[in-house]
Structure 1
Amino acid sequence: MLYSMLYRFIALSVLVPFLSSANANAQTVVEPPSAAADQAAGDAIESGLAEVAAASDLDETLSQSLTELYKQAKSYQAITASRTENAKSFRQMSDTAADDIAELSTQLQSLPRLDVDPVSELTPEQLRQESVSIQAEVETLSEKIKAEVSEPAARQKRLTEIPSLIAEAEKKLREVQAQLELPTPTTEEPIETRARLVRTKSFAAALQAEVSELKAEQAAYLATVDLLPLQKQRDERRLQSLKERLERVREAAVAQQQESNDAAITSLKRAVANATPELKPIAEDNLRFAEERLAMVAETADATALMSKLKEKRTEVEAAQIASEDRLDAVGLTQAMGQLLRSKRDEYRKLRLQFEQSTSTEEKTAAYQVASFELEDRLADLNERLVSAASEDQTSERELLSAQRDQIQETLQSQNSLLQTLLSMETENRQLQQAIDGYIAFVDKNVFWIRSAAPVSIREVYEIPQATKWMLDVRNYKSLGKQFVSGIISRPIASLIGAIAVLYLFARRGTFRQRISDSGKAAESWNAKFDSTTQSLVATVMLSSAWPALAAFLGCVVICGSADTLFTRGVGYALIYVALFTSSRHLLSQTCRDGGLADKHFGWSESLRKTLRINLRWYTNLDVLIVFAMILFHQHPDATVRSAVARFSATLLFLATSVFHHFIARPSSPVYSDVRRRDPDSKIYRFRRVIWAIAAGLPMMFAILTLLGYLDTAYRLGQSLQSTMLLVVALVVAVALAFRWLHLQQAKMARDQALAMRRQKLAGEENESGGSLATDVGIEIQKEAMQDLPALSEQTRKLVFVIASAAGIAGLSLVWKDVLPAMEMLDRFELYSIGTGDAIDRVTYRDILLAIIGIVATVIAVKNVPALLELLVLRRTGLDSGARYAMTTILRYVLTIGGVILTLNFLSLPWTKLGWLLAAASVGLGFGLQEIFANFVSGIILLLERPVRVGDVVTIDSTTGVVSRIQMRATTVTSWDRKELVVPNKNLVTGKLLNWSLSNVVNRLKLDVGVSYDSDVDEVRAILQSVVADHPDVMDDPGPLINFETFGDSSLNFVVRFYLATLDRRVGVMHEVNAEILKRFRAAGISVPFPQRDVHVVRQADIANPSSPGEGPNIHQASHNGAVNSK
């Protein structure tokens, strides 16, 4: 009743300013047209349409315009009829409101109760049907009550809107009536005038009906202000009565089934007692099945009751959220509303813990499913035994087996029923958890920045004596001792394990220090391994965990006790929070110890470590006391004391944090010196003043908020700030560990490369990736085998920093999501939408921001992830340089495609449904870009199948050279003349290609050698054989071949054929063998002849006057150098 009076007062106070103006304007408004007027208007519209259709002299444009006017008039007429009917319903609601209120009041005084109806006389089937019927009615009535909860706020909001809607409609109506009073334009045809007037009058009638409907609605809502609470009260009583009736029906069904099962068990026990020794196992199995079925029936009843309770709580939470949203819309966010929502949130948090899902239900469900399979298998075996036991002397066995079959079938039915109930209960529990989470998120989103207490005042100082008295009360410490003992007794094993763990941490502190020192010495070795860093990290964590572990152990023991009081509960939670608070500080402090991680492994400077240790010492010791007091007094029974101590401690905590951040992050801090020493272009150093302002200013702002009365806000800000500190420490240690590992890996790679180069130098060989054949002719190929360690390390460091930054941003977004809901605010502004109907995707500024982040992440990943893959994986495999190059290139393609798909998803672009676009694009690209795409796909095939690799010697179209680069579109082959031949990848895949070094790099070298005719053939052959056999690069198998091939014009021609294992030194070997042959020939006196020619010179006089018959011309032999000697 109080709520209805308040509702009426608010509604009337809102409407008073509007009613006078509405009544003043209502004098010019006439009532909606009668039924006869509606009929006349309808006839005018139909006759007008017929007239337009019959007028053949009208042009098409005018005819369409007139037809459209009559159609609009027809639609206005339909709107008028609908609004008139609605107004009639509202008037009826107003007229019957008083009678309905009186009738409901009488009904509420004599509402029949359903739980008095007898249910014990119903059969099991009737009870089942009655349960299903009542359950359906309960669900329907619950939904109706949920709507009734939100109806008052919706009506109140509507009442605030109606006056302005009435004023707007009346204004339009006056304008339309003024148009009707205007004279007819002289240029307008009569048929046009009639159409215009019909449309305007229909519009005026619609406006009149709207005003009438709004006024009737307004009057109906005001008249039924007291009716809504009565209807809600009636339905709630009806719902409660239905629930009680449902409970009685279920109890009756369980009682009947229990009675039937008890009788069956009694009968089965007699059967066991009367059974023969041979049949007794069967009878005992029948009894066991009956007892199991009885337990399942009881468990099903309990699960059903719990499921009903879960459903009831879920309905309550959903109704509470709807009511809270409506109240916020009606009243707005006030301090009182904030307190109400906070109390509801805390209540539902406890409810969530009460019904929190456990793994026992899932395990039980799985066990029952397995048991049902076993029963089905046993039932099949039992049917076979019944068939075999068909003789007359097996009658007793057959009866017991038949009874067992019935028992198994009934057990299966009970088991299936229990499974269905458990699954439904899990679903209902999950829905309840989701509803509670939704309500908590709704409250956190709306009341976070609402003041939870009054601003600070001098009166809070007067609460200090009361707080001190409660703190020093001896009775509290006696109860604390009892609580501690009770906690140990209630969980003795866990307490013993915890005590042993804490004692171990304290007893081994000296060992941990020594291990840190030894690991630091090992880290300074030239061949240090990461194991020393890992050992130092473990020892540091164990050393820093002693005091936090002690506080956490004591807090858990206190909380688990049975003698729970506000003081003991506050002490328990305070100890746990102190453990969480100090853990990160102790870890960072122990990291900075001399000879520890930061000193010997991370390479932090002495000034940085000293600054951190000094400030961490005072900050940790001071804030432990503050945090302990703040959490302890959060459980104080007096709200005033609780508020005063919370404000004082939170303010001190924020101020101390601000001072600590100032000493650590000020522009002259050694933190930035170390950062700049490692990276001169570091953005951290560049923005050091901004970082200092944020780090020191945020806690100061939080302290001011605390003084202004935002205690709940400050409490959660403090939690987020401490979580941020823990996150920062974890990220700093993780990044330092990653850089340490990278440093050790880089040193190991440098040592391996230096050792490999030394071995190659000693063996007189060059690196495989830059083949000597290419070097001999001056060709530069794309190097892959020998990694650029500084560049690779720099890329990996950047990637580690990017990953750490992304992890930090993600962690901060989780820690501060309730404080700075920027992403949710961006999600409120829609840019565009895609889709139709229910499948509409909204694209907001949040999606644009995520798309930008996705693009940036893709670019960074494409640049850096292949280097990380090379460093972590590929370098440890036996793959050659070409295979590693292929894998990293394909990885870049995959990352690019994944980034594009991710960005399209953020923008809600349906890339999976753009098949038509892809088809059209493929047709266009097939003509315009077919060669480019063919080369691109061929490049991928080259990287996968690898018919050519970087460094291979190939012959393409009579051009022989070395493959120097394989790119996305084309491959570069550098010939021996150092000319670069750019070959499209398609030609390498579809054309003919000679690869000299694909699978077998053994190649044959052929040399032609000529000696003078006076040389000894056998001696020449022996010299050639010796030269070739003595060369280290010539293969023994297959061996060299030396043949005396032909008699030349000037020499005896020998052909030397021998094989080389690789193509690397083909040119060099050719030079070395030729030089050695010439050297041996000279030593043996074997000459290599020049070409010789005999030239016959005939003079003209000799031809005319021969000296004697038969005498020819003078013959002069040419010299060996080909010159002609004339006499």
Structure 2
Amino acid sequence: MTNFARLVSLLVVIGIAHTNVNAEDLSTLYGHEITVNKVEAKIKEIEASTTMDADARAKLIEINRKTISYLEQTISNQNSIQLFKNARKNARDQAGEILKALEKRRLKLRKDKTGEYNKRPLSELDQILVTEKANFAAVRAKLDDLKNRQSDEFDLPGIARKRLISAQQRQHELEIEYESLSTSETDPVILESRTWLMLSEYDSLRTEIKMLDQRLLSQPMRLELLQAKTEETRFNLSLIEKDIDFIESIISVRRKTEAQEALSEAEKTLEGIESSDEESAHKAVLKMAKANADLSIYASSIAEKLDAIIASNRSLSKSNVLFQEDLKRTQKQIEVAGFSQNLGNVLLKKRRKLPSTSEYSRLVGDFNNEIADMMLAQLQHRDEKKELKQGEQYVTELLQPYKQQEHEQIRKEIGPLIETRQILLQRALELEITYIRTLDEMVATYQQMQDTVGTYKKLLDERLIWVKSSRIVGLGLLTSIPDDVRKLLDLKPWLNNSLAIIKKLSESIWFILALLIAGLIKVKQNSIQQMIENTSINTHKPSRDRLGYTIEALLLSVLLALPIFMIAGMAGWEIQNIDEATLHTKALARALLIFALYWFYFKLLSTICREKGLADSHFRWPEASLQLLRSVINRFTIVTSILLFLLVLMIRLDDESLGGSLGLLLFISFWGINSILIYRIFDPINGVVSPLFLQGIQSSGWKLAQFTRFSLTALSSALILFSLLGYIYGTLVLGTALILTIVFMTGVLLLQQLLLRWLYINHRRLALKAALERRAELQQKLVEQKDPEIKAISEEFGDIAEEPEIDLAAIGDDSRELLNVFIMIMAFWGLWEIWSNVMPAFTLL
């Protein structure tokens, strides 16, 4: 907002503030002043009254407490009025004094503290550094507060305008209520309390209007003072930051120097002992010297790591501050621009540049593990230091394995080494304390960064869905498609990257292994299919049927679906890790990974639905459903997989326009085919969901199936319309969620069928056991009584092992109901996980 526009806004708002300020003050109508003490005395009088019932007493006390609240608000407003009046008089002068003093400080040369700091021990310098970092955090918080206050002041005219209008409306309502109060209320005690309440609220509004008036009038002066304080605080922050950098550099040099000197001394001592001719030197003394050398190397390595971590933490902290400031600017842009297309393009660019929060989570975990390891080492060194402090007792225990005549010589030589080790242990402990503290700071910074980026992503994701990425599609789409096709088929960038891709894949042991496994599966394909068929042999025999056969068939089906998934997935994984990655290699890698997952899903579904496969022999799905699924999957899988691969490739190559015209055409084609596929697959009678609703079309399950089919088909069709209107990013987000929903629902269906199969097997076992016991009982009676009627009943059982199959729908209603409740809970949980990141966007509509 320009200064002129801000001035106009202030004048308009101040004009509103002065409107009706001179209206008749209701407090003068009552004849005397209302004070907090007077109302509190009234409350005590009411509490002590014995003539009122409990409800009336509680009502009166509540009214009077509200009156006290308004009176206190009036006092607060009066104090604020005086503060704002003082700000009008003094704020500009105070700002000038701050800026003059700041200019003098900038011109003044700072005292060189190198000599002073070099005289201090490292432990004292480390404590100074901790104090300076605490000061830095406090000043940073003060600076953020000043920036927020400035931002609030810039928004003041609009907020004040709304509040002034509502306050004046409430004043008018109170005037009307006051005129009718004497006629509507007959009880004098309640009348007095309600009158006090109205008068105190009116006075509170009156002083609030005056306070807003003075706040608006003093805003330019207070803004100048805030800006001056901000400059001063920013300067103080820069000085503290320089002090921190200076102290850290001195500590780093001192730490490395001391570590290197200790290492050199330890190595020199070790060399002297190793070259000694004394026989005793090669045992206790030599062991202690080597331990000192190892401890010196350990301390030196920690000193080196500290420098790298401190530098990384400093860089990350600055990035976090930049992200926080950018987040605030973006929030302001959204408030001003709404859901415009220009803003959409800006937000889309910001969204692409945001780092991954999962990477931060991984790093936080790694640092926490490193902290745990360092704390363990610290405990070990503290224990050793305590042992060394025992002095003579420690030496005596050390000398026990050696001969008595060697003790004097060893004691003489090992004494200086023990003293040196105590010094080394103290330095190592100090380094470990610093290292742990620095890692803690690093973890805190990463967590702050993770929270900031997560908040930023949530803000963008909620709005990008409803922000247009392009204009409404017209005939110009057809004219630009040839250019996009030429761009995609341009061989030059692909040839430039082909050598790097071939080299990466040929050198990857994992890709070669994936090729070998995929080839082996392809060669053994017929054998694996036969193994799947063999798993169903015993499913017809109640005594031999096991859930393990079904799980084996499922695993073999997964194995048959792996070849293309392994090759494409591993190729994409390796290509994305190319050292000198380009736009084309990144796009190809992403497209291969998504293609691999999509292909695996449909290939697995196809394998499950094949003749004599898992769904046919184990789940007993209707043949009509299986024929439909095989027909639809075999017809559309290759086409939709290629379309998805090209779509992802185009989006990654043309990130600015999300794939351009060709990408939009591919998107429309992909979801057009998928709409047909979804409509047919989710047929509640013959589709993939029909096994869930075996009770028939009269059940509520059939209605749920119809709703599921309609919802998924309508949503997939709506994505096409959504993309034609220019909401490209929104269609990609919703489309991804829809694909995940379909995959998840298929997984839930498989789980439901596995659990149903388990119930079915147990049901058959119990039925078989009961039948066998009954037959044994009848046979025993036949032997004992030789009754022809019993013999006839016994013959009716026949061979129990060859009893007719029990249909899955025949399982007890209670078991099915319990199973379906579990499946529904799991389904709702999964759908919430998939759509929870998208749902907040719908609250903005």
Per the normalisation by structure 1, the TM-score is: 0.61
Closer/same/farther in 2, CA of residues 81 and 595 from structure 1, 3 Å limit? closer
Q: In the alignment, what sits opposite 1:575?
A: 592
Change (3 A) 1:194 1:259: same
Shift of 1:478: 1.5
Cα deviation code 1:514-561 (max 9, x no counterpart): 322333445455644434333322221111121122211221121111
* Structure 2: tracts of 5 or more residues without a match: 400-406, 784-805
How many angstroms apart in 2 are the aligned matches of 1:499 and 1:132?
Answer: 56
Conserved 8 A contact 1:483-1:564 = no
1:733 aligned to 723, 738, 750, which one?
A: 750
The 1-side partners of 2:773 and 2:113 are apart by 93
Deviation per CA, 1:148-191: give whole Å up to 9, x if none.
34334433443223234445556777899999999x99xx9xxx
Distance 2:828 2:39 in 1: 70
Map residues 384-395 of structure 1 onto 2, 5 A cutoff.
Answer: 384-386=393-395, 393=409, 394-395=411-412
Determine which of 601, 605, 614 is the counterpart of 1:588: 605
Partner of 2:815: 796
- 2:508 corresponds to 1:492: yes
Structure 1 position 362, deviation (Å): 4.0
Q: Whose radius of gyration is greater, 1 or 2?
A: 1
* Equivalent residues of 1:114, 1:242 under 8 A apart: no
1:53-78 CA-to-partner distances (Å, cap 9, x unmatched) read 9xxxx9999xx999999999998776
Report the AA paired with residue 291 of structure 1: I
Query: What one-letter code is carried by the residue in structure 1 that aligns with 2:114?
Result: S
For the residues of structure 1 that align with 2:109 and 2:623, how far apart are their CA atoms?
81
Indicate the residue corresponding to 2:300 in structure 1: 294
- 2:454 aligned to 437, 441, 444, which one? 437
Structure 2 residue identity aligned to 1:471: L
- Between the aligned partners of 1:166 and 1:630, the Cα distance in structure 2 is 54
Give the Cα–Cα distance (whole angstroms) in 1 for the partners of residues 623 and 765 of structure 2. 27
Given residue 559 of structure 1, which amino acid in structure 2 is its aligned partner? Q
- List aligned pairs for 1:343-422, cutoff 5 A: 343-350=349-356, 353=359, 356-357=362-363, 359-379=365-385, 382=388, 383=390, 384-386=393-395, 393=409, 394-422=411-439
Q: 2-side partners of 1:534 and 1:720: how far apart?
A: 29
1:716 aligns with 2:745: no
Pair 1:85 & 2:79 matched: yes
Equivalence for 2:532:
516
1:416–1:104 Cα change, 3 Å: closer
How many aligned positions are there?
782
- Offset at residue 252 of structure 1 (A): 1.0
Decide which of 661, 665, 675 is 2:682's aligned counterpart: 665
2:794 match: none
Q: Using a 3 Å threshold, how does the CA distance of structure 1 residues 129 and 369 change in structure 2: closer, same or farther?
A: closer
The equivalent residue for 1:811 is 830
Q: Tell whether 2:772 aligns with 1:763.
A: no
Aligned to 1:120: 114
Tell me: CA distance 1:765–1:681, structure 2 relative to 1, closer, same or farther (3 Å): farther
Matches within 5 A, 1:774-785: none
- String of CA shifts for 1:628-676, please: whole Å, max 9, x gaps: 1221122235624734344322222221111112233357746687666
**Would the aligned equivalents of 2:357 and 2:454 in 1 still touch at CA under 8 Å?**
no
Q: Provide, for residues 179-220 of structure 1, a one-character-per-residue CA deviation record: whole Å limited to 9, x for no partner.
A: 9999x99xx9xxx99999999998776555333211111122
Give the deviation of 1:108 after TM superposition: 7.5
Partner of 1:1023: none
Cα shift readout 1:791-847 (whole Å, capped 9, x = no counterpart): 86443333333322222221111112233359x979xxxxxxxxxxxxxxxxxxxxx
Question: For structure 1, which runs of at least 5 residues remain unmatched after alignment?
Answer: 34-39, 767-787, 827-1127
The structure that is helix-richer by fraction is 2
**Residue identity matched to 1:753:** A
1:911 aligned partner = none
Q: Superposition pairs for residues 568-647 of structure 1, below 5 Å?
A: 568-637=585-654, 639-640=656-657, 642-647=659-664
CA–CA distance in structure 2, aligned partners of residues 24 and 320 of structure 1: 40
Q: Say what the alpha-carbon RMSD is for the aligned residues.
A: 4.7
Hey, what does 2:287 align to over in structure 1?
A: 281
Tell me how far apart the structure 1 counterparts of residues 369 and 36 of structure 2 sit (CA, whole Å): 73
Structure 1 equivalent of residue 402 of structure 2? none
Q: 1:55-74 maps to which residues of 2 (within 5 A)?
A: none
- Percent identity at matched positions? 17
The residue type paired with residue 247 of structure 1 is D
The answer as to whether partners of 1:44 and 1:198 remain within 8 angstroms in 2 is: no
SS at match of 2:106: coil
Secondary structure of residue in 1 paired with 2:468:
coil
Q: Residue 272 of structure 1: which of 270, 273, 283 is its match?
A: 270
Tell me which amino acid in the other structure corresponds to 1:808: A
| Residue range with higher mean Cα deviation, 223-232 or 412-421 | 223-232
Spell out, residue by residue over 1:967-1016, the C-alpha distance to the aligned partner (whole angstroms, 9 max, x if none): xxxxxxxxxxxxxxxxxxxxxxxxxxxxxxxxxxxxxxxxxxxxxxxxxx
1:564-606 deviation line (CA, Å, top 9, x unaligned): 1111111110010111112111111111112211222222233
Give secondary structure in 2 for the equivalent of 1:118.
coil
Do the aligned residues in 1 keep the contact of 2:99 with 2:232 (CA within 8 Å)? no
Deviation at 1:255, TM superposition (A): 0.7
Structure 2: distance between partners of 1:680 and 1:729? 21
CA distance in 1, matches of 2:615, 2:93: 84
- Change beyond 3 A, Cα 1:257–1:529: closer
Which amino acid is the alignment partner of residue 245 of structure 1? D
- CA gap of 1:108–1:337, structure 2 versus 1, over 3 A, is farther
SS for the counterpart of 2:126 is: helix
Which is bigger in relative contact order (C-alpha 8 A, separation at least 6)? Answer: 2
Q: Which has the higher strand share?
A: 1
CA distance in 1, matches of 2:651, 2:776: 72
Deviation at 1:613? 1.3
Deviation at 1:136, TM superposition (A): 1.6
Change (3 A) 1:814 1:615: same
Alpha-carbon distance in structure 1 between the residues aligned to 2:148 and 2:710: 47
**Quick one: distance in 2 between partners of 1:119 and 1:825?**
57
Alpha carbons of structure 1 residues 73 and 757: separation in structure 2 relative to 1, 3 Å: closer
1:507 corresponds to which residue? Answer: 523
- The answer (yes or no) to whether the contact 1:574–1:632 under 8 Å persists in 2 is yes
Q: CA deviation at 1:142?
A: 2.0
Alignment partner for residue 155 of structure 1, among 153, 170, 179? 153
After superposition, the Cα gap between the structure-2 partners of 1:202 and 1:714, relative to the gap in structure 1 and judged at 3 Å, is closer
Q: Distance in 2 between matches of 1:537 and 1:662?
A: 26
Separation in structure 2 between the aligned mates of residue 68 and residue 606 of structure 1, nearest angstrom:
74
Name the CA distance, whole Å, in 2 between partners of 1:799 and 1:68: 52
Q: Hey, what's the Cα distance between the residues in 1 that align with 2:594 and 2:292? A: 56
Q: Assess if the C-alpha contact under 8 Å between 1:115 and 1:248 holds in 2.
A: no
Look up the equivalent residue of 1:464 and give its one-letter code: I
Q: Give CA-to-partner distance per residue, 1:1042-1062, whole Å, 9 cap, x none.
A: xxxxxxxxxxxxxxxxxxxxx
Closer/same/farther in 2, CA of residues 108 and 463 from structure 1, 3 Å limit: farther
1:459 and 2:468 correspond: no
Structure 1 match to 2:788? none
Does structure 2 retain, via aligned residues, the 8 Å contact 1:115–1:241? no
Tell whether the 8 Å contact from 1:549 to 1:579 is kept in structure 2 after alignment.
Answer: yes
Between the aligned partners of 1:667 and 1:68, the Cα distance in structure 2 is: 61
Going from structure 1 to structure 2, the CA distance change for 1:461 and 1:107 (only over 3 Å counts) comes to: farther
| CA pair 272-794 structure 1, distance change in 2 beyond 3 A | same
Separation in 2, partners of 1:211, 1:313: 43
Q: Structure 1 residues 637, 650: closer, same or farther in 2, change over 3 A?
A: closer
1: CA distance, partners of 2:725 / 2:770: 65
Determine the C-alpha separation between the residues in 2 that align with 1:162 and 1:481: 64
For 2:800, the equivalent position in structure 1 comes to none
Which of the residues 250, 253, 257 maps onto 1:252? 250
One-letter identity of the residue aligned with 2:257: E
- CA gap of 1:141–1:675, structure 2 versus 1, over 3 A, is closer
